């Protein structure tokens, strides 16, 4: 619910459990007054203290009043060059070269429903949303800044976006435009970021804020394996089930900056948005720029509740699910089994080994097109390689379908190999500065997706392939970070637009594909999890979580990922052992338990499994299908932290009516004489009694408070699942 007190210019956003408030004061400065657990309302600006601080200047209207400074007051959207020395949200440069942004309140408007952002992904929905638009103006520069707020009460979700309009008579260069600025009066906070590298993405890192700025960012053109555009600010003492925390996710897949600043007054500011690095957008008179959306969830009771609210909102109000809630197929992918060396018979034999195990979708990965026999060539030539697949998809797909399976295909539209017909014909279509040698990544170059004709050519070629057979799934890959970022289509003074225009181009093509093939499931992938963000999830309901398929490393990767993103979004497969990344051998049971807390599939040649393993796989597929709703749409509880030494990694899914739950656990390396341990379950109905794996009768409150004794499993990396059903 949004409450506008227009007399006092106090604007309050209520969700089910939280309240957010701002106020335009006597100088029309928009102050942030509160964000936290739900309160009844009123004007919370009494919380703001005014004091003269040396070196903190005073705006002109304040006259000689020295206790009023933008440097010390909590700002709703911070300005620059006029007295606030903390991190600015916006910077623009009119023709005179000045860099001042002095924003004052210029009106607001309440709308039913959710705003949308042209060309950008954003949360969506109907009348369960309300929108507030607050207008700020810098009169001298003729700049209008519109702050958008979307409120989804039931999931405690508040979205924000920013639109900047040049209302002046000459061009203005926009150099910075954050999506979110959040000021907190006082408080001792930790910042949690989700960091790592290729094959070890999204590992949580927690550190207390100290005076100054702490930040994570990407300048790679993707949101990156290295830092995620999702961060958490929380009270020092906050944990899974207690303490105040704020999660902030950027709905964007390109360069980002997430920064937290602790100030001289021990106030805190969080900023999230497009990275100002190599960003400069020219706005001609009348033109507008829209910054991507940021989404906030505040949880007064720990990270678990915050994550569950994000999961629900992402599943129901961000992802476009082509299957409309129907079960997604269990798949088999040939990549780890064959890499580039396969032919039609090999693919069919892998599918033949999977079909009797009730695996439903066969995915042909990289290597099926052009002269693609290694990662050195072929990208850009989206025509079937007739040596490997003599009759094209027209011959291959019916052979897969005869097995009762559907067919999916891998593509990497944003890339080009130097050894390709496309590059030979259009070398200037690759990002690169004329006269400079290219920087390669995985031996390939990046196409200039900011250019319409490049996107059009690629899309038409891919369409031909998709239309040549019955294709129900596409894996959209992207295997390098951007370098040589320069576009032949833009003049020198607009090269600062290329990074953002590139990702807008990716979004445009994804959106076209999504609309042209409404029943097709698109899985995102960026060399594993290099673009695992809310922006991609809008177009691709699932994203390959990591190129690391080792079940034990995956415990950590999937744990970190779960802080914002739901199980149904996490691409996870069982692969062969010893694992290609870690050389570790883990049982088929454990690999299955870990992969089925994701989208679930296999990525190996099942012809090479033993009859016992095939029985296990059959059981896993049947179990997953039987409990699909619980696993994919249940409420997710992290029971342990796999980054800490402990008896096991454990997590739990609980059905919305709390009548069913699934506890999964994986032990670590074995020790002699292990201590007795108990696992406390979560999220059950304290008044219900549950059977565990069809046995006994255990009251919910007992299982949550007293717990369940961990069985002494012998050997390294053993696993177990407890299925609870109310009796
Ligand atoms: C990287 C992906 O993450 C892998 O799953 C696989 O598709 C390869 N690319 C293919 O080149």
Q: What is the pLDDT of residues 612-628, one digit of tens each?
A: 999 999 999 999 999 99
Residue 544 Cα, ligand 1 centroid: separation in angstroms? 9
For residue 493 the two structure tokens come to 């003074």
412 C-beta closer than 6 A to ligand 1: no
DSSP conformation class of 494: G
Measured from the CB, is residue 579 less than 6 Å from ligand 1? no
Is 528 close to ligand 1, i.e. is its CB under 6 Å away? yes
For atom 10 of ligand 1, the residue with the nearest CA is 366
CA 419 – ligand 1 centroid, Å: 19
Closest Cα partner for 23 from 71, 98, 74? Answer: 74
Predicted confidence (pLDDT) per residue in 16-47, tens digit: 999 999 999 999 999 999 999 999 989 999 99
What pLDDT was estimated at residue 375? 97
Spatial contact of 112 and 218, defined as CB atoms under 8 Å apart: no
Average pLDDT score over residue span 397-413: 98
Atom of ligand 1 nearest to the CA of 339: 10
Q: Who's near 564: CB < 8 A, 6+ residues apart?
A: 194, 228, 230, 247, 249, 307, 310, 314, 534
Residues in CB range of 677: below 8 A, 6 or more apart: 646, 647, 648, 709, 710
Contact 524, 507 (CB under 8 A): no
pLDDT tens digits along 151-165:
999 999 999 999 999
Kind of pairing between the strands at 415-416 and 445-446:
antiparallel
How far does the centroid of ligand 1 lie from the alpha carbon of residue 480, in Å? 11
Question: Confidence band (pLDDT; 50, 70, 90) for 435?
Answer: very high
- pLDDT over 90 (residue 608): yes
The question of whether 448 is a catalytic residue gets the answer no
Candidate from 374, 481, 544, 545 with most ligand 1 atoms within 8 A of CB, to mutate: 544
**What is the C-alpha separation between 184 and 248, in angstroms, rounded?**
14
pLDDT at position 325: 86
At 241-291, the pLDDT tens digits run: 999 999 999 999 999 999 999 999 999 999 999 999 999 999 999 999 999
What angle (nearest 5°) sits at the alpha carbon of residue 45, between those of residues 43 and 49? 155
User: Position of tokens 């149904």?
Assistant: 568
Question: Closest Cα to atom 2, ligand 1: which residue?
Answer: 527
DSSP 430: B
Task: Say what angle helices 392-402 and 344-354 make with each other, to 10 degrees.
Answer: 20
Residue whose CB lies within 8 A of the most ligand 1 atoms, among 338, 339, 365, 532, for a mutation test: 365
How many whole angstroms separate alpha carbon 78 and alpha carbon 90? 7
Angle between helices 611-626 and 588-595 (to 10 degrees): 20
Tally of CB atoms within 10 A around 40? 7
Q: Which helix (H) or strand (E) holds 534?
A: helix 534-539
Pinpoint the alpha helices (H) of 273-373. Answer: 302-317, 335-338, 344-354
Widest pairwise Cα distance in the chain: 85
Query: How far is the centre of ligand 1, averaged over its atoms, from the C-alpha of 68 (Å)?
Result: 56
**The one catalytic residue among 613, 629, 701, 716:** 613
Q: What is the pLDDT of residues 56-89, one digit of tens each?
A: 999 999 999 999 999 999 999 999 999 999 999 9
CA 26 – CA 9 distance, rounded (Å)? 10
Where does residue 18 fall: left (phi above 0), alpha (psi -120 to 50 degrees), or beta otherwise?
Answer: beta
Cα(499) to ligand 1 centroid in Å equals 23
Token output for 333: 């992918």
The helix (run of H) or strand (run of E) holding residue 143 is strand 143-152
Average pLDDT over residues 371-386: 97
pLDDT tens for each residue of 485-502? 999 999 999 999 999 999
Q: 525 CB under 6 A from ligand 1?
A: yes
Residue 613 annotated in active site: yes
- List the beta bridge partners of residue 250: 294
pLDDT of residue 385: 98
State the Cα–Cα distance between residues 626 and 419, nearest whole angstrom.
47
Instruction: Tokens for 469, please give them.
Output: 């057979």
- Please check whether residue 651 is in contact with residue 639, taking contact to mean a CB–CB distance below 8 angstroms: yes
Average the pLDDT over 366-372 and give the result. Answer: 97
- Closest to 534 in 3D by CA, of 204, 710, 313: 313
- In whole angstroms, give the CA distance from residue 2 to residue 19: 10
Query: Is residue 675 pLDDT above 90, yes or no?
Result: no
Give the nearest ligand 1 atom to 375 CA: 11
CA dist 406 and 361 (Å) reads 5
Assess whether the C-beta atom of 360 lies below 6 angstroms from ligand 1. no
Q: Both tokens of residue 143?
A: 């700049």
Distance, CA 661 to ligand 1 centroid (Å)?
A: 34
Distance CA 415, CA 432 (A): 13
**Ligand 1: centre distance to CA 508 (Å):** 23
Crossing angle, helix 551-561 and helix 588-595, to 10 degrees? 10
- With both helix axes pointing from N to C terminus, report the angle between 498-516 and 452-467 in degrees, rounded to the nearest 10: 30
Q: What percentage of residues in the chain have a pLDDT greater than 90?
A: 98
Kindly give the pairing relationship between strand 689-692 and strand 648-654.
unpaired
CA of 400 to the centre of ligand 1 (A): 21
pTM of the model: 0.98
The response to whether residue 378 sits with its C-beta less than 6 Å from ligand 1 reads: no
- Beta carbon of 335 within 6 Å of any ligand 1 atom: yes
Distance 525 CA to ligand 1 centre (A): 8
How many A from CA of 477 to the centre of ligand 1? 7
- Under the banding of pLDDT at 50, 70 and 90, the label for residue 186 is confident
| Angle subtended at Cα 457 by Cα 451 and Cα 461, rounded to the nearest 5 degrees | 150
Assess whether the C-beta atom of 479 lies below 6 angstroms from ligand 1: yes
CB of 477 closer than 6 angstroms to any ligand 1 atom = yes
Alpha-helical segments (H) within 358-479: 392-402, 421-425, 452-467
Distance 307 CA to ligand 1 centre (A): 28
Q: What is the DSSP string of 43-66?
A: -GGGG------TT----GGGTT-T
Distance of CA 680 to the CA centre of its chain: 29
Choice from 199, 525, 545, 602 to test ligand 1 binding pocket (greatest atom count within 8 A of CB) = 525
**Which one of 222, 473, 477 would you pick to mutate in the ligand 1 pocket, going by the greatest count of ligand atoms within 8 A of its CB?**
477
Separation CA 677–CA 383 (nearest Å): 57
Please tell me what DSSP assigns to residue 253. Answer: -
Strand order across the 570-571 sheet: 570-571, 542-544, 521-524, 473-476, 406-411, 361-364, 331-333, 601-603, 573-575
Q: Which atom of ligand 1 is nearest to the CA of 475?
A: 7
Task: State in Å: Cα 514 to ligand 1 middle.
Answer: 21
Exactly one of 190, 365, 523, 533 is catalytic; which is it?
Answer: 533
On average, the pLDDT of the chain sits at: 97
Backbone torsions φ then ψ of 110, nearest 5 degrees: -105, 135
Number of CB atoms found within 10 A of residue 239's CB: 14
Average pLDDT over every residue of 672-699: 96
Contact 295, 306 (CB under 8 A): no
3-state secondary structure of 527: coil
Phi then psi for residue 153, to 5 deg, are -55, -45
Q: Using CA positions, which residue lies closest to atom 11 of ligand 1? A: 366
Which atom, in ligand 1's list, is nearest to the CA of 365? 7
Mean pLDDT score, 208-220: 98
How remote is the CA of residue 537 from the centroid of ligand 1, in Å? 18
Which residue among 442, 479, 481 has the greatest number of ligand 1 atoms within 8 angstroms of its CB, and so is best to mutate? 479
Residue 408 and residue 471 in contact, taking contact as beta carbons nearer than 8 Å: yes
Q: What angle do CA 102, 105, 111 make, to 5 degrees?
A: 135
Supply angle C-alpha 305, 307, 309, rounded to 5. 70
Ligand 1 touching residue 368 (CB < 6 A): no
C-beta of 544 in contact with ligand 1 (< 6 A): yes
Of 567, 575, 574, 608, nearest to 592 by C-alpha is 574
What is the dihedral sign for C-alpha 597, 600, 604, 608?
A: positive
Nearest to 635 by CA among 17, 155, 161: 155
Matching residue, tokens 């950590």: 556
Distance CA 160, CA 150 (A): 6
547 lines ligand 1 (CB under 6 A): yes
Phi, psi dihedrals of residue 174, rounded to the nearest 5°: -90, 120
Binding site membership of 476 for ligand 1 (Cβ less than 6 Å): no
| Token pair recorded at residue 393 | 């998809």
Angle at 568 between CA 120 and CA 315, to 5 degrees: 50
Compute the distance between CA of residue 461 and CA of residue 413 in angstroms, rounded to an integer: 10
Residue nearest to atom 9 of ligand 1 (CA): 527
Q: Is ligand 1 within 6 A of the CB of residue 138?
A: no
Q: Is 253 exposed, middle or buried (0-12, 13-18, 19+ CB in 10 A)?
A: buried
Looking at the CA of residue 526, tell me the nearest atom of ligand 1: 3
**Whose CA is closest to 510, among 477, 479, 486?**
477
Which ligand 1 atom sits closest to the C-alpha of 528? 3
Q: Closest by alpha carbon to 559, among 545, 543, 573?
A: 545
646 has pLDDT over 90? no
Q: Whose CA is nearest to atom 1 of ligand 1?
A: 527
> What does the pLDDT read at residue 356?
98
Using an 8 Å Cβ cutoff, are 80 and 102 in contact? no
Residues belonging to the chain: 727
Share of the chain above pLDDT 70, in %: 100
């Amino acid at each position: 619910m949004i409450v506008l007190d227009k007399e006092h210019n106090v604007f309050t956003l209520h969700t089910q459990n939280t309240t957010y408030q701002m106020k335009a004061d006597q100088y029309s400065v928009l102050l942030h007054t509160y964000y936290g657990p739900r309160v009844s309302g009123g004007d919370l600006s009494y919380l703001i203290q005014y004091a003269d601080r040396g070196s903190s200047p005073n705006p002109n209207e304040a006259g000689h009043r020295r206790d009023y400074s933008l440097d010390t007051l909590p700002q709703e959207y911070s300005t620059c060059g006029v007295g606030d020395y903390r991190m600015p949200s916006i910077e623009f440069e009119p023709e005179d070269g000045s860099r001042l942004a002095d924003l004052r309140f210029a009106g607001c408007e309440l709308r039913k429903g959710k705003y949308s952002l042209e060309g950008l992904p954003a949360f969506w929905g109907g009348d369960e949303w309300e929108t507030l638009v607050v207008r700020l103006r810098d009169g001298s520069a003729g700049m209008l800044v519109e702050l958008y707020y979307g409120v989804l009460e039931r999931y405690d979700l508040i979205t924000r976006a920013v639109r900047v309009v040049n209302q002046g008579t000459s061009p203005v260069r926009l150099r910075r435009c954050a999506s979110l600025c959040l000021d907190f009066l006082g408080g001792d906070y930790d910042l949690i970021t989700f960091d790592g590298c290729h094959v070890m993405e999204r590992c949580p890192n927690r550190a207390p804020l100290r005076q100054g700025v702490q930040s994570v960012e990407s300048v790679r053109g993707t949101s990156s394996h290295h830092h995620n555009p999702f961060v958490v600010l929380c009270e020092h003492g906050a944990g899974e089930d207690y303490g105040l925390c704020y999660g902030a996710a950027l709905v964007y897949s390109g360069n980002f900056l997430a920064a937290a600043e602790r100030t001289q007054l021990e106030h805190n500011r969080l900023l999230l948005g497009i990275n100002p690095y190599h960003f400069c957008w020219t706005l001609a008179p009348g033109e507008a720029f829209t910054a991507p959306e940021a989404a906030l969830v505040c949880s007064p009771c720990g990270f678990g509740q915050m994550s569950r609210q994000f999961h629900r909102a992402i599943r129901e109000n961000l992802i476009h699910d082509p299957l409309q809630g129907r079960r997604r197929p269990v798949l088999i992918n040939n990549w780890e089994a064959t890499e580039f060396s396969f032919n039609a018979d090999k693919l069919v034999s892998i599918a033949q080994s999977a079909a009797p195990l009730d695996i439903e979708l066969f995915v042909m990965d990289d290597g099926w097109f052009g002269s693609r026999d290694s990662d050195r060539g072929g990208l850009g030539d989206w025509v079937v390689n007739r040596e490997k697949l003599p009759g094209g998809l027209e011959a291959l797909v019916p052979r897969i379908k005869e097995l009762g399976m559907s067919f999916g295909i891998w593509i990497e539209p944003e890339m080009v190999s130097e050894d390709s017909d496309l590059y030979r014909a259009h070398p200037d279509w690759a990002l690169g500065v004329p006269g400079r040698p290219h920087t390669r990544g995985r031996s390939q170059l990046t196409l200039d997706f900011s250019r319409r004709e490049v996107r059009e050519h690629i899309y038409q070629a891919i369409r031909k392939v998709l239309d040549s057979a019955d294709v129900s799934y596409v894996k959209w890959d992207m295997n390098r970070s951007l370098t040589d970022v320069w576009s032949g289509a833009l003049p020198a003074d607009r090269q600062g637009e290329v990074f953002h225009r590139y990702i807008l181009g990716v979004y445009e093509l994804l959106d076209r594909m999504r609309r042209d093939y409404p029943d097709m499931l698109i899985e995102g992938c960026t060399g594993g999890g290099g673009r695992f963000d809310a922006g991609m999830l809008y177009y691709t309901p699932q994203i390959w979580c990591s190129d690391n398929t080792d079940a034990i490393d995956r415990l950590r990767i999937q744990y970190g990922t779960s802080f914002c993103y739901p199980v149904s979004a996490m691409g996870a497969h069982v692969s062969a052992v010893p694992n290609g990344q870690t050389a570790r051998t883990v049982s088929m049971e454990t690999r299955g338990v870990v992969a089925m807390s994701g989208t679930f599939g296999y990525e190996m040649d099942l012809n090479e499994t033993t009859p016992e393993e095939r029985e296990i796989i059959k059981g896993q597929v049947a179990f997953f299908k039987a409990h699909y709703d619980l696993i994919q749409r249940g409420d997710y509880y992290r029971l342990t932290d796999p980054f800490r030494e402990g008896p096991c990694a454990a997590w739990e899914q609980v059905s919305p009516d709390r009548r069913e739950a699934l506890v999964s656990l994986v032990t670590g390396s074995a020790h002699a004489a292990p201590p007795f341990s108990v696992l406390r379950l979560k999220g059950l109905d304290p008044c219900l009694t549950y059977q565990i794996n069809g046995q006994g009768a255990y009251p919910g409150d007992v299982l949550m408070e007293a717990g369940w004794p961990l069985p002494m499993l012998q050997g390294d990396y053993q696993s177990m699942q407890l299925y609870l059903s109310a009796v």
